[in-house]
Chain A
Amino acid sequence: MRRALDRVWLRQLAALLVFLGVWEAAGRAGLLNPLYVPEPSAVAAALVELFGTGTIWPHLAATFAAAIAGLLLGLAVGTVLGILAALVPFVAEIVEPFMILLNAVPRVVLAPLFVIWFGIDLGSKIALAFILVAVLIFFTVYTGIRQVDRRLVERVVTLGGGRGALLREVYLPSLVAWLLGQLKVAVGFAFTGAVVGEFVAASRGLGYLLSFAQSTYNAALMLALVLLIVGFVLLIFALAGRLERRLLRWRG
């Protein structure tokens, strides 16, 4: 027993089990109001029901579609704008003030506006996820390119490299490193955008389900959904982490 508890993750797991056990016991003893704090077994039951009846799938699909589409669009547009702004001063003059403004406001306040512009379907959720990701990626790429290691640039130039070689040997690998460094944050932003968008106005999605659970005072369902979102984001983090380790082997 002592041996087993030497491992950190085992101690953490034990602590979690104790916590859940106390929570469950307190619930059953009537110390917690199930309307506010349902016991873990009720949350688990809600989760099982979501999957058992299959009601969760269209909602999951909607949220994932919005988050992934917004993420990809945001990565693409943010990268292209960032590169253009770093290389063409005219573009920087036009784009930078907008981006600074967008960066300064909490971008989720745009959600109601996007519903008017793009409707209550997927469009408004993609737009919100997109704007959250695009601004982040724009600044990552824009400042990254301007701060690229001068020594590397000079090294490639003195070895006889031209613009093409600089792009291939210095700028692109730097770009990949910056983008991967922000990938986890971007994934979090994309899901935030999708779920908040659904929260505001939607007919499907995890955010919509959350809003529905709130209106029916179903705390068990809400906790189950929060748990589900946490689970999926952790899964995507793990995938992003693998990609990072693979592509950034050189960081050791």
Chain B
Amino acid sequence: MLRVAGLSLAYDETTPVLEDASLAIDAGSFVSLVGPSGSGKSSLLRAIMGLERPTAGRIETDLGMREIGILFQDDALLPWRSAVENVALGLRLRGDGRADTVAQAESWLARLGLSGLGDRYPRALSGGQRKRVALAQVLALKPRLLLMDEPFASLDAITRVRVTQDLLALVESQHMTVLLVTHDLEEALALSDVVYLLSHGPRAHISRRYDVPIARPRDVVTARTDPAFAPLLAALWRDLQREVAGETVAA
């Protein structure tokens, strides 16, 4: 569905953030990208979304830009638009009729457990509720590929599990393909079919790929008790430690 081939990206001339990074995302899979902080995980995601211009390499996809949805860590809801207007925004920008967009937006809010909160402004919503609105905004556009950059990092643990569970259910029912950037190894393994480890930056590349043989659909909590989970976590943790140590040696 999407292939990143030999991607390099630099913000200044001396040190590229990414150098020769390659990965592949198959249709219907849930893929996570983990790596040391500052390694360029977000930059890779932004490049896929067209928000950064790569200095070398290709991003090949059979998807149109409109079929890709993205969710950032900071929920950037328009503060002057109510929850339902925020959700309807994407639909409206894509030229759907006004009355229909509001109805659609409300049904998406309901699906994410926000019935009756549509008239509230973002300021009057809790962090978890705002995150759900942002999620509804993206999912309402029915993306085939969903890119997420630490989407739930700002939420408390319980809210995070609940929002993730609701998201997983929607990913399954909408047959979405997902690329998740996270620094949480357990979350990556619990959710993903494939986990890519990015080497330490600068000049980060994909250093390893792990296939997670746990059946889907999954439950965020019980997936961690699967026999395959612990050995994979140990391996991932060991490799990540090496990357961080490599960074220290290089420094």
Contact = CB atoms under 8 A, between A and B. Distances in A.
Interface of A, secondary structure class, is helix
Interface string B97-125: 00000000000000000000000011110
Given A158-B49, A159-B137, A252-B123, A169 B78 contact: yes
B90 A151 contact: no
Interface in B64-88: 65-66, 69-70, 72, 74, 76-82
A129 B51 CA distance: 44
A155 B77 CA distance: 8
A159 B89 contact: yes
Interface in B124-175: 124, 137-138, 141
Nearest to B73: A151
Given A158-B49, A252-B123, A252-B124, A165 B93 contact: yes
Interface of A: 149, 151-152, 154-161, 165, 169-170, 173, 177, 249-252
A251 B124 CA distance: 9
A105 to B, nearest CB: 36
Interface residues of B, number: 26
B78 A159 contact: no
Contact of A250 (B72, B80, B90, B93): B80
Nearest to B77: A155
A177 B93 CA distance: 23
A159 B124 contact: no
B123 A161 contact: no
A152 B94 contact: no
B121 A250 contact: yes
A77 B26 CA distance: 55
A250 B79 contact: yes
A250 B70 contact: no
B93 A152 contact: no
A170 B122 CA distance: 15
B51 A251 contact: no
A181 B70 CA distance: 33
Nearest to B79: A250
A160 B69 CA distance: 10
A90 B58 CA distance: 36
A160 B72 contact: no
Contacts of B123: 250-252
A152 B78 contact: yes
A160 B93 CA distance: 6
A154 B134 CA distance: 13
Nearest to A170: B78
Nearest to A173: B80
Given A159-B93, A159-B137, A160-B66, A151 B49 contact: no
A162 B94 CA distance: 10
A169 B89 contact: yes
A159 B76 contact: no
